[in-house]
């Protein structure tokens, strides 16, 4: 059915848009930017901040354009004196109780409130009542929350409640006492926070920031007794360039490798390689369960945010979760075992740093069940993409001018299957490339499993194996994961293999990604552009299936015997257990 077109005028410009379009969206289609603060498309459309007000002919007051629908013959004015005066006054009132210490704020230069002040020419605040005192809440391993910088936009609460279904933060109290917090103002480590960081992604100011662990890495690099090894996750190479002004989705793998080497790391490996190892182990586990009558569906365990959510909210499903460690933890485990033996280095003298798009990885590296038989934790510090960018800047490296570098091959050479781990559906596709070929004993053509690609919240497909139809599902974002789990539990949904990613869109949209404003996130397919860059790299790879990676084959032949062996299980697998679920 064809959508009805609505004709209106915005600043005297004729505009035709589909019925149901908001004034904000209609204005953008006419090349007119209306400023916003609380608005995030499809997530937080509440008209609360009043920064986006416009005049509508015939209306008795200014209207919030982000929630006001267009109508036939409407006349809208976005830049009148009344509109400008209202927006400026609103901004001054927001700033009146904001801790304005921009020079020492990690969001300086990328703060949406700061940008609005520049756009509106606000260089003094008439209603400033004194500097609010810092209110840092640092109880978790992954973020710092400071309500003295909060503007009550509620974007964080919407991300936690709607996207992630966790809902551990929201507005408390009323009137001037309103503030964002957890139930009974508990610290975040006393509620069911899963460390996903989607609240950080949504925050327009410095009220929510990733906890900075770079000083630990600088100290290790300066310690002559430490052999410091680094590896970056698949999605980091298509995110990092954004921190240096490059277009969204630019693949900067070569420059990233050069930057890591110039920062002083002794070995520069790649977590893509560990992703290939994950496929070998997880694929073997799936085939064993499928052929031997094991617990199905098998659910992936790559996302620590998802795993923690399952432990807290769905402990009855833990028997379905793969015992494989995540690629990050497999990477560290191999560095402190296989690589340590090959290089003749005591594992206790090796300091492993991972670069991740994910804030939950900071929590994962501290999980006790990850500890290796030699007493070492696989990874010592997990940095986000944001933190790596700060290290590069602090070192004086002109990132955009760096030449392309190369990875150290022993734990760095990867297949295209490892590359696509960074996008939702990538783990599933990578696993299918190996599983289907192993079962059929033939080469897959075509190689791509495009049914599981894309940014939809839930995708499903089925594939024919000899004597068996394999039903698979891919879901990203914990609200979608809950929807699928509820269907599986009730029997309404039946699958053999499920990929869950804690963040919507997968790792390309992790909580530690580069900061992008609502202006970009609302009107640009950031996740899709980053994912497309990964699929493009996959197509150019020499090897596109994990089991074809010669360095993976060598590790098994020299060290682990075969996928799923006793030694592989001891090193690359773990068990998960129910966690305390806080009650309110």
Half-sphere exposure in the Cβ direction for 43 (13 Å, CA): 29
Output the pLDDT for position 582. Answer: 57
* pLDDT tens digits for range 282-295: 999 999 999 999 99
pLDDT mean over 205-216:
97
The CA–CA distances, whole Å, from 394 to 171, 231, 241, 543 equal: 37, 20, 16, 36
Output the pLDDT for position 584. Answer: 41
DSSP codes joined into one string, 35-76:
P-SS-BTTTB----S-TTEEEETT-SS-EETTTPBP-TT-EE
pLDDT mean over 485-503:
97
* pLDDT tens digits for range 374-391: 999 999 999 999 999 999
Q: Determine which helix (DSSP H) or strand (DSSP E) holds 5, and give its type and residue range.
A: strand 5-10
Output the pLDDT for position 441. Answer: 83
Beta bridge partners of 110: none
Output the pLDDT for position 1. Answer: 65
CA distance 64 to 59: 12
Say how far residue 78 (Cα) sits from the centre of its chain. Answer: 35
Characterise 504 by phi-psi region: left (phi > 0), alpha (psi -120 to 50), beta (else).
Answer: beta
Percentage of the chain lying above the pLDDT 70 cut: 99
Output the pLDDT for position 3. Answer: 83
Output the pLDDT for position 256. Answer: 98
- CATH assignment, 215-572: 3.40.50.1780
Percentage of the chain lying above the pLDDT 90 cut: 92
CA distance 427 to 423: 8
Whether pLDDT at 125 is above 90: no
Q: Which of the listed CATH numbers 3.10.129.10, 3.30.70.520, 3.10.20.740, 3.40.50.970 matches domain 5-93?
A: 3.10.20.740
Half-sphere exposure in the Cβ direction for 174 (13 Å, CA): 0
The CA–CA distances, whole Å, from 241 to 199, 257, 419, 530 equal: 22, 12, 17, 11
- Picking from 163-172, 442-451, 575-584, which range would have the lowest pLDDT averaged per residue? 575-584
Q: What SS3 string covers 295-311? A: CCCEECCCCHHHHHHHH
* pLDDT tens digits for range 223-245: 999 999 999 999 999 999 999 99
Residue 2 or residue 434, greater confidence: 434
Whether pLDDT at 129 is above 80: no
Q: How far apart are the first and last CA of the chain?
A: 47
pLDDT mean over 5-9:
96
- pLDDT band per the 50, 70, 90 thresholds, residue 131: confident
Output the pLDDT for position 128. Answer: 72
Output the pLDDT for position 581. Answer: 66
Q: Which residues are catalytic?
A: 282, 285, 302, 322, 361, 364, 369, 507
Q: How many CB atoms sit inside 10 A of residue 135's CB?
A: 14
Query: What SS3 state is found at 122?
Result: coil
DSSP codes joined into one string, 376-430:
--S-SEEEEHHHHHHHHHHTT--GGGPPP----STTT---HHHHGGGSTTHHHHH
Output the pLDDT for position 583. Answer: 47
* pLDDT tens digits for range 166-210: 999 999 999 989 999 999 999 999 999 999 999 999 999 999 999
What ranges do the domains of the chain cover?
Answer: 5-93, 215-572
Output the pLDDT for position 230. Answer: 98
């Amino acid at each position: 059915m064809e959508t009805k077109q609505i004709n209106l005028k915005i600043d005297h410009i004729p505009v035709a848009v589909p019925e149901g379009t908001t004034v904000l969206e209609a204005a953008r289609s006419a090349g007119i930017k209306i400023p916003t603060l609380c608005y995030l498309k499809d997530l937080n459309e509440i008209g609360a901040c009043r920064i986006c007000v416009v005049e509508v002919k015939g209306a008795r007051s200014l209207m919030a354009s982000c929630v006001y629908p267009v109508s036939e013959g409407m006349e809208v004015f976005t830049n009148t004196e009344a509109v400008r005066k209202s927006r400026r006054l609103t901004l001054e009132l927001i700033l009146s109780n904001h801790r304005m210490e921009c020079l020492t704020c990690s969001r300086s230069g990328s703060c949406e409130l700061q940008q609005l002040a520049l756009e509106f020419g606000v260089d003094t605040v008439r209603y400033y009542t004194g500097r609010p005192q810092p209110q840092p809440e640092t109880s978790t391993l992954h973020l710092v929350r400071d309500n003295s910088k909060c503007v009550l936009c509620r974007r964080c609460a919407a991300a936690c409640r709607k996207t992630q279904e966790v809902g551990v933060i929201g507005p408390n109290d009323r009137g001037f006492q309103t503030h964002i917090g957890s139930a009974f103002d508990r610290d975040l480590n006393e509620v069911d926070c899963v460390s996903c960081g989607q609240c950080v992604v949504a925050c327009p100011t410095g009220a929510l920031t990733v906890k900075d662990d770079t000083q630990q890495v600088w100290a290790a690099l300066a310690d002559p007794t430490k052999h410091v090894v680094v590896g970056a996750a698949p999605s980091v190479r298509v995110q990092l360039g954004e921190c240096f002004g490059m277009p969204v989705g630019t693949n900067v793998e070569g420059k990233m490798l050069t930057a890591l080497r110039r920062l002083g790391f002794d070995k520069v490996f790649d977590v893509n390689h560990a992703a290939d190892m994950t496929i070998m182990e997880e694929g073997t586990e799936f085939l064993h369960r499928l052929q031997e009558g094991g617990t199905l569906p098998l659910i992936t365990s790559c996302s620590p945010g998802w795993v923690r959510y399952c432990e807290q909210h769905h402990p009855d499903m833990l028997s379905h979760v793969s015992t494989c460690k995540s690629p990050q933890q497999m990477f560290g485990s191999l560095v402190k075992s296989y690589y340590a033996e090959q290089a003749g280095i005591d594992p206790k003298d090796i300091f492993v740093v991972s670069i991740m798009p994910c804030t939950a990885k900071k929590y994962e590296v501290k999980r006790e069940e990850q500890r290796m038989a030699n007493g070492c934790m696989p990874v010592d510090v997990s940095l986000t993409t944001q933190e790596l960018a700060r290290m590069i800047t602090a070192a004086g490296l002109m990132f955009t001018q760096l030449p392309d570098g190369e990875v150290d091959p022993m734990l760095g050479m990867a297949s295209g299957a490892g590359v696509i781990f960074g996008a939702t559906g990538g783990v599933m596709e990578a696993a299918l490339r190996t599983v289907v070929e192993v079962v059929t004993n033939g080469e897959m053509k075509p190689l791509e499993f495009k049914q599981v690609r894309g940014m939809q919240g839930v995708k499903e497909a089925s594939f024919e194996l000899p004597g068996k139809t394999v039903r698979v599902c891919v879901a990203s974002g914990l609200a979608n994961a809950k929807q699928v789990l509820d269907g599986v539990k009730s029997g309404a949904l039946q699958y053999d293999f499920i990929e869950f990613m804690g963040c919507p869109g997968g790792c390309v949209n992790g909580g530690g990604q580069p900061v992008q404003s609502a202006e970009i996130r609302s009107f640009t397919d950031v996740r899709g552009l980053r994912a497309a860059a990964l699929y493009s790299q996959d197509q150019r790879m020499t090897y596109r299936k994990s089991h074809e990676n010669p360095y993976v084959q060598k590790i098994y032949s020299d060290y682990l015997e075969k996928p799923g062996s006793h030694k592989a299980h001891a090193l690359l697998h773990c068990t998960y257990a129910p966690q305390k679920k806080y009650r309110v």
